[in-house]
Amino acid sequence: MPTDLDQATGLERLEILGKMQGVDVFDMKPLDSSRKGTLDDPIIVKSFGDEQYAGCTGYPVDSHVTIWLTMSRDRPVERCPECGNVLKMEYVGPQEDAHNHHHEHHEDGHHNHEEPKTFADFECRIVEREVDISSLFSTTHARDFITLKVGL
């Protein structure tokens, strides 16, 4: 009777051979959830491919529903729009891409399309400023007492 190893091919065989040697070839251990990633110190997500998906459940853990973030070799940093957690893809695959001939690039190596902006492209700063909105009110009494603080 053949074993799983005898019958397995491709990625399944790679996984079985890795387990036999004590290696987790797909790096299935959970991401670091003991801290919140920042732009200066992001949570590292290793990837053998050009693109990697990671689910953020917030910090502290499970503080919001899972939000799936997409990182790529071209855009390795991604920020969760819900909690601000920052993840960074670290490419650990082969340096030469045998399939690279399928992509159309400019002379400078970039794609022919512009990547959309994401939450990671913006740094949020809260600035408090006092704004006088008394001119919006018609009565003198209301004008005397209204000042609004807004976060920009």
Strand 51-56 to strand 67-72: parallel, antiparallel, or no bridges (unpaired)?
antiparallel
Question: Does 76 fall in a domain?
Answer: yes
CATH number at residue 75: 2.60.260.40
Question: Does 48 fall in a domain?
Answer: yes
Question: Does 128 fall in a domain?
Answer: yes
Provide the domain count of the chain.
1
Of the two residues 106 and 78, the one the predictor is more confident about is: 78
pLDDT class for 48, splitting at 50, 70, 90? Answer: confident
64 annotated to bind ligand: yes
Classify burial at 60, counting beta carbons within 10 Å of its beta carbon; exposed 0-12, middle 13-18, buried 19 or more: exposed
pLDDT class for 145, splitting at 50, 70, 90? Answer: very low
56 annotated to bind ligand: yes
Of the two residues 94 and 1, the one the predictor is more confident about is: 1
Segment 59-85 shows an average pLDDT of: 94
Question: Does 60 fall in a domain?
Answer: yes
Question: Does 66 fall in a domain?
Answer: yes
pLDDT, position 33:
86
Question: Does 145 fall in a domain?
Answer: no
pLDDT digits (tens, 9 = 90+) for 93-135: 888 755 555 555 556 555 566 666 666 666 555 555 555 555 5
124 annotated to bind ligand: no
**Domain carrying residue 65:** 39-93+119-132
